[in-house]
Amino acid sequence: MLYVIKMGWDEGGDTGRVDAVLAGALAGVEYREISDLEAFVRFFPDPAEEKPAERRPVLFVVNLARGGISVGYARFIAYISQHPHCLENCVGSVVVDGAEELFTKKAGREMIFMANRSGCGFPGAPLVEATGSLYNFNLRAKLQGIANLRAYENAVKKLVEALLAFQGAPAPADGRHRIALFHASNRKTSNTLLLWSMVRDAIGDAAILREVSLRNGSVVDCRGCSYEACLHFGEKGECFYGGTLVKEGYPAIRESDTLVFCCPNYNDAVSANIMAFFNRMTALFRSDFREFAKKRVFALVVSGYSGGDIVAEQVIDALNCNKHFILPPHFALMETANDPGSILACEGIEQRAGDMARRIVEIG
């Protein structure tokens, strides 16, 4: 049974387009529609003990009125955010239909972030956005030789099919995950690397670990090659620029089923080396995207002051939405610590690092 959560239908805006797209995508699907918060609370209560044993697929649909602010959507988000276990054992996908050209990505990645924080996992590529003009479907429409509206309909239909088919990450053959940890930090001073060492100690030998420093050598951002050139390099396991990202980063992605990223907050974003790696994964993604969709991604985010949520959303956007990695429930551990070493003084940090370690080694 699919749960379809409709948010923002009560704002007086036009819902005709998204209603028609949903009707097409849900034809023949057994589903329960929920459009008021009271019903949502009944089906998705907190605390976690009440969670049903069976994994529940949930399609979150946001109708975003002009201006990008929806009070109806905000009511749902407030409940989800304040009940950090209400979506345990759920897997989700998101549709955002906007009245204008802006705000759909912002709402989509926020929806994923909030639901994930409350226990919902997401398969790769879990977001379909429709901007007011449907301009964002230009390329897909051209490739399929159809109108933009048809491309939108097809995308939502495929999204629902993929959600219903999603079984989670495949179990590792020998019972232990192969984990690659990526960082670009200085071991002597980095709080984020200290946080990783706590998580790593808690993992112990329950997984096979490999650490990759993206600081070695000079890291160059994506050159923006043509699609053909990028695919050509990717098929050879390369990228136009070589270096650490290709020599160490690519094999680590290929040979691991789980990726963990150390993400210190630099100007409310992941640091430049980490971002360059995200961008330059594109060559590998072009040839290996089916493999990417079987791997899980986690993030350790440390901010000196604030903004960890923005950094975590950036990781969701780049790696789950764009690069199709699986987002397991509670994928990010977000902490605040500024002075070198001060993360060790955060209250309850060992418990949270241990919980993160358990989520990372968990199978199924």
Ligand X SMILES: Cc1cc2nc3c(=O)[nH]c(=O)nc-3n(C[C@H](O)[C@H](O)[C@H](O)COP(=O)(O)O)c2cc1C
Q: Which residues contact ligand X (rule: CB under 6 A)? A: 185, 189-192, 264-268, 302-307, 337-338
Of 138 and 306, which has the nearer Cβ to ligand X? 306
Torsional sign, CA 315, 317, 320, 322: negative
Q: Minimum Å distance from CB 87 to ligand X? A: 27
Tell me which residue has its CB nearest to ligand X.
304
Torsional sign, CA 54, 256, 85, 103: negative
Q: Minimum Å distance from CB 41 to ligand X? A: 34
Q: Minimum Å distance from CB 345 to ligand X? A: 12
Give kind and range of the element (H or E) at residue 161: helix 148-165
Q: Minimum Å distance from CB 105 to ligand X? A: 21
Which two three-digit tokens encode residue 272?
A: 């430049």
Of 26 and 346, which has the nearer Cβ to ligand X? 346
Rounded Cα distance, 328 and 226, in Å: 32
Of 36 and 268, which has the nearer Cβ to ligand X? 268
Q: Minimum Å distance from CB 267 to ligand X? A: 5
Rounded Cα distance, 6 and 10, in Å: 10
Q: CA separation (Å) from 56 to 19, 44, 209?
A: 22, 10, 31
Phi, psi values for residue 343, rounded to 5°: -65, -25
Of 188 and 236, which has the nearer Cβ to ligand X? 188
298's CB contacts (< 8 A; 6+ apart) are 258, 259, 260, 261, 328, 331, 332, 333, 356, 359, 360
Q: Minimum Å distance from CB 181 to ligand X? A: 13
The DSSP annotation for 70-114 comes to -HHHHHHHHHHHH-TTTTTTEEEEEEEEESSSSSHHHHHHHHHHH
